[in-house]
Structure 1
């Protein structure tokens, strides 16, 4: 049964859940329990504060923080004033974050303070765009920072009635979020999605997963990613679940949390299940509360699906397929699909969404014949932020979103992803775009040319391998280069294997022939 409110906006969906489950535990984070009624009061305070800061409908507000209660409160507050959430990857460095802030035109940045030994605002020194008016630290603030309570206190000048009225003025067509996704150009593009399409997509996701208010959802997927945001806390507040954010994944701690707090829902990439299964405490941990999971993001062997059902005890194990450009979900398997089907396909198109396979001339391919995956339906993005040209390239005149992925559809409509038109590889569940990594790495003063490909890795699924041409007479060692990359890009983007070469293979037009690089055995690394 659908849980969508009469006017499907995220503020109305949240209000509907609050009215149905006011005393139910909404968030349990760092030992603190927050009911839905309490969460509603916090969100209202955040909305009032944003209005006091002058945030108008349609304006963008960025969040750069790990999974935590404040992330959800801030996001719901932003959405409640009709503004747009811009999630920022916590693994990004200052240069990367500065680009997202400038491109999005965000007026405010809600950032974590101290996290994993780093004070995040310090990373932005020299990278803050003129369009950003204020950086607010939501937790882990140090002296001189504008902290969360300072932010909230400003909202006392705005009445609760005004904030409630603003939330009711939000419409389904309004943009709710802009998630930045890298592309073959090497520059991230902002994907615009709206309230109504997000909720409708996640309503279908929720029904396939069989979510109920009694579910306790351990949130390992990061909130800056569609899987942690839309298939994460958004489906949680839609369905009245108890959400348990995890800031940093630790297999042992996750196992202890499952046993202690009776976790029932645990989505994630295959990497997390492998890590848990290899932990010495796995066999002795009580996992009987686990009920539902969805995995994917990389090749999934049938043995893992079977193990998730047998050893973890999941009753429902799904896989799916989606892009930021289609609200995160386009296809899902079914709860009663066998292990082989779940592992080797991405399921079938969700309700009211079409998927087809076309050849290079745009002709629809017959069953089991490979071609590019195209998607059409209500879930297709509203477009790329301030980039009509890229939007027209991605969505054709008939409304089909060109995914850039190669796949097949069988006679029953099950989708298999077999390759990628775009040169993307997936490391631990994160999309890695070589063009972006190459652009960032080429800033190193010793690098003349660089080409990056993905290579198989048992733990991460795939990792990066970089072929580097050094500038004449400028020394560079692999360890030094990797250290530099770690300081200038998210860690999952950092190449794990470094090959120094004299030249890169190219065709007559000068394009690097990566297919030739893929033929070379991995002989060096870091």
Structure 2
């Protein structure tokens, strides 16, 4: 990273649109050096200690991959998660410092102070509070010199760079651990690099959370001397205005955003001629809508298939594979592309044997992008990882003769709605807490806009009554917004196994029978 700064020192590295804040490579390097010294010198965080970030894109962009130069481990919290989820994650890893948006202080202060957690507000707090510091007051007090720390590149047991949480199949979150090798595979993989930015000093605009999928395109831009432009929300008109004004080369969006873009006549309203790459992912895309998008925006699309456990992408479907000239090309649009160099993707049967082409099995992944396991969770690590380093994705798919991977179904009870993961058990727990509900099954059902819609199938207690609106409102009090069911169906019985276990897949099948595949 220091070498990149030497090459591009005076070029712009970051532009935060809402704040109209611009930082050159040299300024970003100096700022993050100072933050590393703040963490160690001011707050005493050394190797093995953790801090957390609870930040919108503009502030998170200051403390992103560039902070891996420091000793302390970063826990990236998702802004869309709830207070209780954040507290659980902070407790799980023992974070001692939280970088937080000033507007969240009132809501979070008492809970964090009771844990002895120090807060660093990214804007000046409206009043003086014990244990709360102003980020921009701290920065000039710290040294701008490079921390000079050295780490074991691949071994997460020696040094953990970043931690993120994902949901578990039981509804309990699992904490993923990233080594330096995992992190930098985002910027070093040649195919990912070339497909994203086949040119020098690109401009990339990111409006979805950079703590999630879109963050994987930041290091490739950085290493090519590019400028990362951030928005804090998905505002399609503002995004297009920024593309036109800044002559942006790349945007990262999830399929639900692409579907909205399709209906807005954007090429007629804005000058989008600078766009050379529209990178999409985080959830499967409708092949029919992808054909419409290609017709409207041209051959600028690149897809990647990844997960929290194997992030950045394990496969890439490049712009040259997004064709409409014949039926063979249209079939390829249904795939998620081919494995990137250095990453192995196998389709395995229940015994772990690789299947031949076109035979379905579970997708297993191993490579520099794949984590070694879950922090402080040996049971889930053993269940989801093999001894030789493969992660069992829980996705069902097959490969063609050329090695392209096609998704068919999901083995685990996970719903991907609008690019966000929702685990059925967590939503069922919320529904089942309602006094009128005897039992429920939560499944993802096909939806043109969301990809999958969270649907609750509810069995009421005998003699009890409840409406769909009532149950949805109840869930809103206990779940993060994107996890709340958008649809409630009432049934007189739910399918159970001989031992009384809910057969969620049978419930799901009723909604997917008319679909060409069981995952959108």
**Which residue does 1:328 correspond to in 2?**
312
**Which residue does 2:74 correspond to in 1?**
85
Question: Which residue of the other structure, out of 61, 67, 73, is the alignment partner of 1:72?
Answer: 61
Question: Which residue of the other structure, out of 225, 236, 240, is the alignment partner of 1:251?
Answer: 236
Deviation readout 1:385-407 (Å, 9 max, x if unpaired): 11122112211123222111101
For residues 419 and 232 of structure 1, the distance between their equivalents in structure 2, rounded to whole angstroms, comes to 27
The answer (yes or no) to whether the contact 1:112–1:140 under 8 Å persists in 2 is no
CA displacement at 1:236 relative to structure 2: 3.0
Mean CA deviation greater in 75-84 or 449-458: 75-84
Is 2:73 aligned against 1:48? Answer: no
**Which residue does 1:515 correspond to in 2?**
505
- The structure-2 alpha-carbon separation of the partners of 1:43 and 1:156, relative to structure 1 and needing over 3 Å to count, comes to same
CA displacement at 1:130 relative to structure 2: 5.9
The answer (yes or no) to whether the contact 2:34–2:143 under 8 Å persists in 1 is no
Question: Which residue of the other structure, out of 462, 486, 489, is the alignment partner of 1:496?
Answer: 486
Question: Which residue of the other structure, out of 425, 437, 440, is the alignment partner of 1:450?
Answer: 440
Secondary structure, counterpart of 1:354 in structure 2: strand
**Which residue does 1:20 correspond to in 2?**
7
For residues 306 and 277 of structure 1, the distance between their equivalents in structure 2, rounded to whole angstroms, comes to 11
CA displacement at 1:353 relative to structure 2: 1.7
Question: Which residue of the other structure, out of 377, 381, 384, is the alignment partner of 1:387?
Answer: 377
For residues 409 and 132 of structure 1, the distance between their equivalents in structure 2, rounded to whole angstroms, comes to 51
Is 2:205 aligned against 1:224? Answer: no
Secondary structure, counterpart of 2:303 in structure 1: strand
For residues 247 and 132 of structure 2, the distance between their equivalents in structure 1, rounded to whole angstroms, comes to 31
Structure 2: 5+ residue stretches without partners = 324-329, 513-520
For residues 338 and 389 of structure 2, the distance between their equivalents in structure 1, rounded to whole angstroms, comes to 19
Q: Alpha carbon RMSD of aligned pairs, Å? A: 2.6
Question: Which residue of the other structure, out of 111, 118, 137, is the alignment partner of 1:134?
Answer: 118
Give TM-score scaled by structure 1 length.
0.87
The answer (yes or no) to whether the contact 1:48–1:159 under 8 Å persists in 2 is yes
**Which residue does 1:263 correspond to in 2?**
248
**Which residue does 2:149 correspond to in 1?**
168
Question: Which residue of the other structure, out of 86, 89, 99, is the alignment partner of 1:100?
Answer: 89
For residues 307 and 147 of structure 1, the distance between their equivalents in structure 2, rounded to whole angstroms, comes to 53
The answer (yes or no) to whether the contact 2:304–2:337 under 8 Å persists in 1 is yes
**Which residue does 1:5 correspond to in 2?**
none
CA displacement at 1:307 relative to structure 2: 4.2
Question: Which residue of the other structure, out of 338, 347, 353, is the alignment partner of 2:337?
Answer: 347
For residues 72 and 393 of structure 1, the distance between their equivalents in structure 2, rounded to whole angstroms, comes to 34
- The structure-2 alpha-carbon separation of the partners of 1:487 and 1:137, relative to structure 1 and needing over 3 Å to count, comes to farther
For residues 104 and 395 of structure 1, the distance between their equivalents in structure 2, rounded to whole angstroms, comes to 21
Secondary structure, counterpart of 1:419 in structure 2: strand
Deviation readout 1:114-155 (Å, 9 max, x if unpaired): 3xxxxx344447754965522322237433458997245446
Secondary structure, counterpart of 2:126 in structure 1: coil
CA displacement at 1:421 relative to structure 2: 0.5
**Which residue does 2:270 correspond to in 1?**
285
Question: Which residue of the other structure, out of 203, 217, 222, is the alignment partner of 2:188?
Answer: 203
**Which residue does 2:163 correspond to in 1?**
178
- The structure-2 alpha-carbon separation of the partners of 1:312 and 1:335, relative to structure 1 and needing over 3 Å to count, comes to closer
For residues 294 and 146 of structure 1, the distance between their equivalents in structure 2, rounded to whole angstroms, comes to 44
The answer (yes or no) to whether the contact 1:434–1:451 under 8 Å persists in 2 is yes
Mean CA deviation greater in 264-273 or 180-189: 264-273
The answer (yes or no) to whether the contact 2:347–2:362 under 8 Å persists in 1 is yes
Mean CA deviation greater in 125-134 or 216-225: 125-134
Structure 1: 5+ residue stretches without partners = 1-12, 115-119
Is 2:465 aligned against 1:478? Answer: no
CA displacement at 1:282 relative to structure 2: 4.5
Give TM-score scaled by structure 2 length.
0.88
For residues 111 and 136 of structure 2, the distance between their equivalents in structure 1, rounded to whole angstroms, comes to 26
- The structure-2 alpha-carbon separation of the partners of 1:149 and 1:386, relative to structure 1 and needing over 3 Å to count, comes to closer
